[in-house]
Amino acid sequence: MTTSVKQLIEAANAVVPRISPAEAQSMIASGQAIVVDVRDAPEVEKSGKVAGAIHVSRGMLEFRADPESPYHDKHFHRDRPVILYCASGGRSALSAKVLKDLGYEQVYNLGAYKDWVENGGEIDKPIEPGM
């Protein structure tokens, strides 16, 4: 049986809670949550990212999140909440599902970066060309 991207995203959304920018801000303020931007590097360079977020492109997430991987990122801990976002919410939903599969229990999908910005969320500015 063939599965579509739409079905994969629906399955991910069924197991990963979607949170609002206000809920994310509250979790971030607690100091325990890690925020992960899973967009591609050119997107982050162009628009900036959620203040304090780490950037791990969707293609490298499993390698950065798995403590057994030689590419593990020390920011990832299975006992801390993880908030993910992308441009529209699709990649972050898929990413969140993968983290659940890797044993992360507190995983949340913030959805679209633009929603964060439009709701007054603090950002790290885009990189200036030539910097």
Distance in angstroms between the alpha carbons of the first and the last residue of the chain = 48
Strand-strand pairing, 82-86 and 34-37:
parallel
Closest CA to 48 of 56, 37, 59: 37
* Per-residue model confidence as pLDDT tens for the chain (131 residues): 888 999 999 999 999 999 999 999 999 999 999 999 999 999 999 999 999 999 999 999 999 999 999 999 999 999 999 999 999 999 999 999 999 999 999 999 999 999 999 999 999 998 666 54
Largest CA distance in the chain: 48
| 49-50 and 123-124 beta bridge pairing | antiparallel
Domains and CATH numbers, the chain: 5-117 (3.40.250.10)
Question: What pTM, to 2 d.p., does this model score?
Answer: 0.93
Structure tokens at 58: 């969707």
